[in-house]
Amino acid sequence: MSSITNGAVVVAAPRAPAVRGRLSDLPIAGAKRVLLAAPRGYCAGVDRAVIAVEKALENYGAPVYVRKQIVHNVHVVSELERGGAIFVDDVAEVPEGAHVVFSAHGVSPAVVSAAAARGLQAIDATCPLVTKVHREATRFAKQDLDILLIGHVGHEEVEGTMGHAPERTTLVTSPDDVAGLEVRDPDNLVWISQTTLSVDETMETVRRLRERFPNLQDPPSDDICYATQNRQVAIKKVAPQADLVIVVGSANSSNSVRLVEVALEHGAKAAHRVDYASEIQQSWLDGVQTVGVTSGASVPEVLVREVLDDLADAGYRDIEEVKTAEEDLMFSLPKELRRDASGQTDSRALGGRTRT
């Protein structure tokens, strides 16, 4: 897989998937078990974005260009690349007139304009929940409010959101940033957030902001996406019972990294993030009776199953699913992709794939 930047992270080629029999079933005191968090894995926005690239390849043929990673998962990007997708950092790298897909994390108006100037046939796979935040930023700027955007420096979603109101938006990266903030008018502020943050840390940031700026306004609804919140709630229930938590997800996946942090904050004795089962180390399992397993919102279930297979080789065959919510939300595909190459309405147009 080609190396492309995604914010501050350069994504390298993925490792090989797990090889069975690599981990040993060593004796411990007590019975071994796995607590499998649910919900986990693909959310509706990720499913929509991945299908968008697959559909574009079906309808228009390879290559189809994608600005940045379509979602933050090295396996997904590698699979799409094998199918004919070409991932680029900038629309300037896309041949004039070609098809280009904007990633689930969204883009600024400047990127849209740059694509139009090159005559690119753009397909916007931005998650609708990210688009909601973009619209909030635009609306608040028109209302002459200054915007405090809670998020991570260099994340594509943050860059896209700031691009909708650049003169009005100040980035707040953590609760510790609040004390040093300088604002134009402390009585004319509203906060919004990146969709994939830790719920607890975001609320702590808001609490400190409100202490400094008592007239701070709230967005009309919570910006942190339902999937991010649901996965964090599930791992919070698993963590107190787990000697070890394994989170399947990539290093540049904000919501996956947050799951590791949430697990540790809520009682897990240890927690590690892996892209593939092959990264699980035998030493992590020393003396471990209960392993919690979850995955970030851009992770296909096949990668979780490989982790469970490896854990079964190590004796962790008793699997209990810990379910805290049901998810049935699906998003329509971008309008350009709701029909197949023959012009017929595609069966996936108004929803995603079956998530099994």
Catalytic residues: 157
Structure tokens at 51: 């299908």
| Gap between the Cα atoms of 321 and 303, Å rounded | 17
Nearest to 106 by CA among 64, 74, 134, 81: 134
Helix axis angle for 44-60 and 128-142, nearest 10°, is: 110
| Gap between the Cα atoms of 76 and 85, Å rounded | 11
| Gap between the Cα atoms of 51 and 63, Å rounded | 16
Helix/strand/coil for 96: coil
Specify burial of residue 233 (Cβ count, 10 A radius: 0-12, 13-18, 19+).
middle
| Polymer length of the chain | 356
- The distance from CA 339 to its chain's CA centroid, rounded to whole angstroms, is 27
Q: What is the DSSP letter of 241?
A: G
Q: What is the DSSP letter of 188?
A: S
| Gap between the Cα atoms of 147 and 125, Å rounded | 25
